[in-house]
Amino acid sequence: GAVVSQHPSRVICKSGTSVKIECRSLDFQATTMFWYRQFPKQSLMLMATSNEGSKATYEQGVEKDKFLINHASLTLSTLTVTSAHPEDSSFYICSARDVENSPLHFGNGTRLTVT
Amino acid sequence: AQTVTQSQPEMSVQEAETVTLSCTYDTSESDYYLFWYKQPPSRQMILVIRQEAYKQQNATENRFSVNFQKAAKSFSLKISDSQLGDAAMYFCAYRSHNNNDMRFGAGTRLTVKP
């Protein structure tokens, strides 16, 4: 089946630094990838939709200058949390689909802790 | 905008018994997809079952089945012969036919008692 790899699984960074999270589709081409954020004991909230070769579409309330998304190839999308603050600490999950109308395949998520 | 509601924050079931998780949604669209995802402690999102809105027949995957009531905008998940490994958070999700993104409910934490 389709596999999505997300790296790193855990990261701790200091306040003010930037962190990059990678999302790769290992055995399929993903023209569209999605980035979600999940707070403890809460649901997944869509942050942005990443389309290969074009700018990401951000959900209302998500700062595009803070959460930089790059989808430079059909198998890789990156989320960079810039100038991280403790309130950015959360669980970030990416997902991708291979063909239209197929279910989303999720990465294993990244737990970000900003100290 | 579409919304997905899971009214049961927590549910509990005895091993080998059956449990039903509720989900309702709000949409003005006629063509869409519904999903149930399982999220165990590992946090990995695992697809349990999907339903296309244009199909009247309820989807079934082994011990998992849904009761899809389109007019009522209801999409419940039934887990039969519950196993300890079924314990997890379960999320109901909606995706419209034309859009790519998926909207999730708040989740239901299922506990399976031995």
Say if residues A38 and B91 touch (Cβ distance below 8 Å): no
Closest CA to B9 of A42, A44, A92, A93: A42
Q: Is the pLDDT of residue B101 over 70?
A: yes
Q: Which residue has the tokens 């011990």?
A: B63
Residues 24-43 of B with CB under 8 A from A: 33, 35, 37, 42-43
Residues of A in contact with B100 (CB under 8 A): 32, 34, 49, 97
Q: Pick from A42, A46, A106: which is nearest to B45 by CB? A: A106
Q: Cα angle at A5 between B61 and A109, to 5 degrees? A: 80
pLDDT in tens, A72-113: 888 999 999 999 999 999 999 999 987 766 778 899 999 999
Minimal C-alpha gap between B53 and chain A (Å): 12
Least confident among A16-25, A39-48, B69-78: A39-48
Cα-Cα end-to-end distance for chain B: 41
State CA A30 to chain mean position distance: 14
- Are the Cβ atoms of B106 and A32 closer than 8 angstroms? no
Predicted confidence at residue A101, as pLDDT, reads 66
CA A84 to chain centre: 15
**What does chain B come to in residues?**
114
